[in-house]
């Protein structure tokens, strides 16, 4: 492997520079030097170069997927299920290589890279395989005539474009392409320019599992080529659906392009996740959930030991941002919150620009009157110290903006109804938490929250293979995950037969 890791799990030494190829027709494809770009850490250490696509290469990738579609769409569900299960085995066998690539490209530490991006992927693929046949089961609804038979069948769309981010690069890329492929579609993955090697490993695992050539193609590109490549991919007539995971700002651009070409979309976008602490809450559990949910790059499963819960810089759409506390328990909660935060190490941002954006939001909030209750807004080599702010005014950008960094804002309210109003006062609606010993009362409150998921007595960062995942409002539309995710990539066809 190219990168070495130090004792704390960070990447420090890069022995050999290699070029990450594109992947078309189950084979690596090298681009010309003029399309290649450098992949660096957030501290500007060169990792490797990557072959980049232009519009012509992007169209070639879609053409390959389109050519593979007719045969793949006719592959029986049982055969596709066996391949998906084989894919899970291949991923498990490549664990070490994939983990090292994630750590090198994103700055993630071992517990997160190995726990979420590998363990969760294996579970996701097993769940996906188990649902293929049921998802494709059609109906024979009654008709207005005894002499007419009606069938409603489910069929794949064709070529699906999956656009995956860098912050959870393996699981989110796998989710973007494995689900449509399992349904009989073929796919093109537009890989992130920040994690091309991780996404290249995904392509290799599909080939090693036995998926036919063209069923999955992977292209990446330099930042400068993004508009050209995106437009070419979405505009291609063979692309029949697009799924995107990323920021709301970029999601709007993707939606504009898709709208021009009447391509349906599935999108999971940004968030401003609230965590509500009611008067009867377990304050220790709430404080722990707020810090872990706010500072992690992504959540860790319960099997991961507590010492692995080191900060990954808050770089996740479900990260806790607003902590809303009933004022009668505010002082006691703040003491516990700061104590937990004090024991949480700072991680490294994936890009210096992202860390600088978060630092700027915090600095402006303090300038506008917010109080820095914990930490210091210091940036060193793309690493921010985790912070907690109180008294954040509504007219400072941090009040409404997604920070995407290790910062929490704490807000005092007089009642549960006031907490609900504040939690809903955002354009986002991806995830939320409520801490209360009155579970039924929390359930009633959960139904009134404008959020795709609400976790009672659990942190805002939560996803698992058997649940739907997606947001309300500007956090996107449609759902990934389990049978809901499978339904996204199957379209209905009505067939009638008239008796003679």
SS3 492: strand
Q: What is the DSSP letter of 397?
A: G
Contact between 201 and 220 under an 8 Å Cβ cutoff? The reply is no
Residues 6+ apart with CB under 8 A from 479: 266, 452, 468, 469, 470, 485, 488
Where in 284-424 does DSSP place strands (E)? 320-326, 371-374, 379-380, 383-384, 387-390, 407-413
Q: How far apart are CA 140 and CA 151, in angstroms?
A: 5
Catalytic residue IDs: 268, 317
Contact between 121 and 170 under an 8 Å Cβ cutoff? The reply is yes
Using alpha carbons, select from 257, 288, 88, 281 the residue that is nearest to residue 163: 257
The encoded tokens of residue 262 equal: 């009447």
The encoded tokens of residue 150 equal: 């009606």
Q: How far apart are CA 323 and CA 447, in angstroms?
A: 19
Q: Are strands 371-374 and 379-380 parallel, antiparallel or unpaired?
A: unpaired
The three-point CA angle 251-254-256 to 5° equals 110
Q: How many CA atoms lie within 13 A of 160 on its CB side?
A: 32
SS3 49: strand
Q: What is the DSSP letter of 120?
A: I
The encoded tokens of residue 72 equal: 């793949």
Contact between 288 and 309 under an 8 Å Cβ cutoff? The reply is no
The secondary structure element, H or E, covering residue 353 is: helix 352-367
155-186: b or e for each residue (b if 16 or more CB lie within 10 Å)? Answer: ebbbbbbbbbbbbbbbbbbbbbbbbbbbbbbb
Give me the phi and psi of 235, to 5 degrees please: -75, -20
The encoded tokens of residue 375 equal: 């930490």
In a 10 Å sphere around its CB, with 0-12 CB exposed, 13-18 middle and 19+ buried, how is residue 129 labelled?
Answer: buried
Supply the Cα-derived Rg of the chain in whole angstroms.
23
């Amino acid at each position: 492997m190219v990168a070495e890791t130090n004792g704390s799990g960070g990447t420090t030494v890069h022995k050999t520079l290699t070029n990450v190829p594109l992947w078309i027709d189950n084979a690596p494809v090298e681009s010309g030097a003029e399309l290649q770009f450098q992949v660096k850490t957030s501290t500007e250490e060169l990792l490797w170069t990557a072959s980049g696509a232009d519009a012509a290469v992007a169209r070639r990738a879609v053409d390959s997927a389109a050519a593979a579609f007719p045969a793949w769409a006719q592959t029986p569900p049982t055969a596709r299920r066996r391949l998906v299960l084989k894919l899970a085995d291949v991923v498990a066998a490549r664990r070490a290589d994939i983990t090292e690539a994630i750590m090198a490209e994103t700055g993630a530490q071992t517990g997160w890279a190995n726990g979420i991006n590998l363990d969760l992927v294996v579970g996701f693929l097993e769940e996906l395989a188990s649902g293929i046949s049921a998802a494709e089961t059609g109906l024979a609804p009654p008709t207005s005539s005894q002499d007419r038979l009606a069938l409603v069948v489910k069929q794949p769309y064709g070529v699906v474009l999956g656009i995956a981010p860098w912050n959870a690069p393996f699981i989110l890329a796998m989710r973007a392409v494995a689900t449509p492929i399992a349904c009989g579609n073929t796919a093109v993955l537009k890989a992130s320019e920040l994690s091309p090697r991780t996404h290249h490993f995904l392509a290799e695992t599909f080939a090693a599992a036995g998926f036919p050539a063209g069923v999955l193609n992977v292209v990446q590109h330099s930042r400068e080529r993004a508009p050209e490549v995106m437009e070419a991919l979405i505009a291609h007539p063979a692309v029949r659906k697009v799924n995107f995971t990323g920021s709301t700002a970029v999601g709007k651009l993707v939606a504009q392009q898709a709208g021009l070409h009447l391509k349906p979309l599935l999108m999971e976008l940004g968030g401003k996740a609230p965590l509500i602490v009611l008067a009867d809450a377990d304050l220790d559990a709430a404080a722990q959930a707020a810090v872990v949910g706010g500072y992690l790059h992504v959540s860790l499963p319960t099997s991961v030991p507590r010492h692995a819960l080191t900060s990954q810089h808050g770089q996740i759409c479900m990260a806790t941002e607003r902590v809303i506390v009933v004022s009668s328990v505010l002082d006691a909660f703040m003491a516990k919150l700061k104590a937990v935060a004090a024991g949480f190490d700072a991680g490294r941002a994936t890009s210096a620009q992202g860390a600088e954006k978060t630092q700027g939001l915090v600095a402006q909030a303090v300038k506008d009157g917010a109080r820095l209750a914990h930490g210091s807004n210091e940036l060193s080599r793309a690493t921010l110290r985790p912070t907690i702010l109180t008294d954040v005014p509504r007219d400072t950008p941090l009040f409404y903006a997604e920070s995407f960094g290790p910062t929490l804002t704490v807000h005092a309210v007089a009642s549960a109804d006031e907490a609900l109003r504040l939690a809903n006062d955002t354009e986002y609606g991806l995830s939320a938490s409520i801490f209360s010993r009155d579970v039924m009362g929390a359930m009633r409150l959960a139904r009134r929250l404008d959020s795709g998921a609400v976790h009672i007595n659990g942190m805002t960062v939560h996803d698992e293979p058997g649940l739907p995942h997606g947001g309300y409002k500007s956090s996107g539309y449609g759902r990934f995950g389990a049978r809901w995710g499978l339904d996204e990539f199957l379209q209905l066809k009505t067939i009638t037969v008239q008796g003679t």
